[in-house]
Structure 1
Amino acid sequence: MSPIPQLHETVTYLEMTQPPGQWAMPPRPADWNLVRLDQATPAYYRDLQRIIGEPWLWRERLMMDDTTLSAILEKPETELSVLHLSDGLAGMLELDWSRPNEVEIAFLGLAPDRIGQGLGAPLMAEAQERAWSDPRTKRVWLHTCTYDHPGALDFYRAWGFTPYLREENWFEDPRLTGVLPRHAAPHVPLAGSD
Structure 2
Amino acid sequence: MTTTVTTWHLEQTAPSDLSPAQEPPAAAGVRIARAEVPSPEFSHFLYTAVGSDVAWTDRLVWSREAWEEYLHRPGVETWVAYERGTPAGYIELEGQDEGVVEIVYFGLLPAFRGRRIGGHLLTWGTSRAWDMADQRPDRVPTKRVWVHTCSKDGPYALDNYRRRGFRVFDVKTSDEE
TM-score tier (shorter): 0.7 to 0.9
Cα distance in 2 for partners of 1:148, 1:104 equals 17
Q: Which AA in structure 2 matches 1:148?
A: D
1:110 aligns with 2:129: no
8 Å Cα contact 2:95/2:132 also seen in 1:
no
Quickly say closer, same or farther: Cα 1:168–1:133, change in 2 above 3 A.
same
For residues 31-110 of structure 1, the aligned pairs below 5 Å read 31-86=29-84, 88-110=86-108
SS in 1 for 2:16: coil
Partner of 1:156: 161
Give the conservation status (yes or no) of the 8 Å contact 2:18–2:126.
no
Query: Which is higher, the Rg of structure 1 or of structure 2?
Result: 1
Q: Name the TM-score, length of structure 2 as normaliser.
A: 0.83
Length, aligned pairs only: 168
TM-score normalized with structure 1 length: 0.77
User: Runs of 4 or more off by more than 4 Å in structure 1?
Assistant: 5-8, 21-25
Instruction: Give the percent of matched residue pairs that are identical in Structure 1 and Structure 2.
Output: 30
Q: Which residue of 1 aligns with 2:14?
A: 18
Matched position secondary structure for 1:69: helix
SS, match of residue 116 in structure 1: coil
Report if the CA contact (8 A) 1:26-1:125 is conserved: no
Matched residue type, 2:165: G
SS of residue matched to 2:128: helix
Q: Unaligned stretches of 5+ in structure 1?
A: 172-190
CA distance in 1, matches of 2:17, 2:80: 26
Deviation at 1:143, TM superposition (A): 0.3
Unaligned runs of 5+ in 2: 134-140
**Mapped partners of 1:29, 1:88: distance in 2:** 16
Match for 1:18: what amino acid? Answer: A
**Deviation readout 1:51-100 (Å, 9 max, x if unpaired):** 11111111112222222222111113100111111151111111111333
Shift of residue 22 of structure 1?
A: 8.0
Preserved CA contact (<8 Å) 1:34 1:83: yes
| Inter-partner Cα distance in structure 2 for 1:86 and 1:99 | 36
After superposition, the Cα gap between the structure-2 partners of 1:121 and 1:166, relative to the gap in structure 1 and judged at 3 Å, is same
RMSD: 2.3
